[in-house]
Structure 1
C-alpha cells in the first residue's frame, strides 16, 4: 500500500474535531503535523474554536500535534501486550474510533491528556508567548513535609511551577470543540466525559517539589512549586480506569449517562465510559478494525494478557529463532568516545498462529 499523499493527509486533517479525531491520529508522525500552517490551511472547515486557534495561535496548534503524538506513543506502550495493541495503521485505527468501545474511551482520554501535558510543558519551557510559569501569589502556602530541618523553617511558593490550568484550557478548547454539553447524542456525552477524564489524569495529580535554602544545610527556607506528573504515570492511571471502565447508556433527559446494570455506582469524572462491547480482536476483521493477533510475539510462560494462551486466542503458537545485532565489547577511549563492536545474538521468539 502506498503511503498517503500530502493532499490526503490535508483532507484528513480537515476532519479534525472531537466528533472525528481520526484525522489527528492519521496524520501523527507525518511531517505535516509539525507545520501549523499546513494543519490550519483549511480553517473554514474546522470547528469555530479550532479555526480561531489556527488563526491566532498556530504555535499552540503545533503543541496540540505534539500532544497527540505523545498520546499515540503512550497508548502503544500501555497496550503493547494486548490483543489490540493501539496500532496506528490508518484504516484499522479509524474503525476503532468509530465505535463506542472501551479502547476508544482510552484513545480519547490519552489524547486529551497528551494535549494538556504538551501545552503545559511548552509553557514551562518558555516556548509559548501566551503563557509561562504558574502564578503562585494567590495560592495557599504549601503544607510542611516531614524530614530533617522541616520544623521551624519557612515556606514560600517560587521556582517555575507548571501552569496546568492553561494546558487544560487549550486541550478543552481544541478537543471539545463542536461537542456541546446538553445534547442528547450519547456519543457526544461519552466523548466529552472521556476527554475530561484524560485531562483530570494530568491536572488532578500535580505534585509539590521543593528546594531547601540555608547555610550549612540548615534548610531555613523551602521554595516550592507544582509540577505535572510524568506522562507514564498518566498512562498508568488511565489504564487502571480502562480496566474498570463503566458501560453506560443515555438517561431519558438526554443529558446524563447511567451505568448499565443494577446497584452500580455512577461513574465519576475520572472514570472512562463506553456503550458497546469490544470485539475479541482475535482475527483480522475490516468491519471492526481488528488487525488480529496472528504473528504477534507472545510470552509462552506468562499467565497474563501477554501470554500465548490469551494473546493467541487458543490457536497456539510456534517458536522461531531470530538473529539480532547488538552493541558489545564496548571500550572507552580518552577522550571521550565509546567504541563498540556489533555482535549477533540468537533469540527465541514465540509467535501466535
Structure 2
C-alpha cells in the first residue's frame, strides 16, 4: 500500500514535528495546522514533499471513522432540527459560488467557468478535475483553490474559538474502540473508498469511513470512539497532505492570483458567517458548531477541524457529507448559467 515509504520520511517527520509543537503551544486544531505549515515550509526550502495515496486515504478514512463513531440511535431524534440546518447549508453553498464568481469575473477578469470552479467551497479535487478536462483555466483553479484551502485551515480554528458564545464541546464516547474493530472499519472504508475514487466521487475515503462507522455504531455492531493517538496521527497526515499540495504553487502564480485568492476567501468567510447566523436563529444550535459545518474549506480539512475542536462529530459529519453531494449538483448547474 505504501511503496517506497522511506522517500516520504522528510514529509512525515516534518508533519509530526509541526503537529507536536502546535499542539504543545495550545493552537486550536494544532495537529492539523502545525503539520500543514511545517510541510509547506519544508517545501518552500526546496525539499521534495508528498505522501503516497494509500497513506493519504488511510488518514482520510480514519477521520471519517472518527466522525461516524458519534452517530447513535439518539442522533436520529435531531434529524428534524438538522434538516433546517442542512437546507440553510445548501443556500450558503449557492451564495458562496455565485458571489465568488461575481468577484473573480468583475474584479479580476477571469472567465465565468474558471471563476465558478475556483469559487467551489469544497471538493477541490472535483473542481480541479473538471478544469483539467478543458473547462476553464486549470492552473488558475488549482492555485485559487489551494489559496482558499491553506488560508481557511489557518484562520478557521482560531476564529471558531474566538466566536464561541456557549459551551459547545461535544462529549465524545469515553470508552475507546477496540483496535480490531477499528482495523475492520478502516479496511472496509478503504475498500469502498477505492471503488468510490474510481467512480469519480470526491473525498471517497473520508465519506466511506463516515458511512461505515456511523452505520456500525448506529446498529450497535461497534462501540466506542477512535483512540486519541490515532486521531492525532490522522490529523498530522492530513495536514501533511495539505502542506504538500502547496508545493505546486509557483512564484508566478502567487503574483498573479494572490489578491484574487484572498478576496474569494474573505467573501466566502463572510457569506458562511451570515448563513450560520441565520441557522442559529432557526435552530438554536451553537454558533461555532454550525459555522464549522458551513465553513468554505475543503471537506477533509473542515471535517478534521471540527473533529479536533471537539464539536459534535455527528452534526459535522452529516453536514460535510451533504456538502459534497450538494456541490456535485450545484457546480455543473452554475457552469451552465
Shorter-chain TM-score category? under 0.3
Q: Which has the higher contact order (CA 8 A, sep 6+)?
A: 2
Greater share of helix residues, 1 or 2? Answer: 2
The structure richer in strand per residue is: 1
Using the size of structure 2 for normalisation, the TM-score is 0.19
Task: State the structure with more CA Rg.
Answer: 1
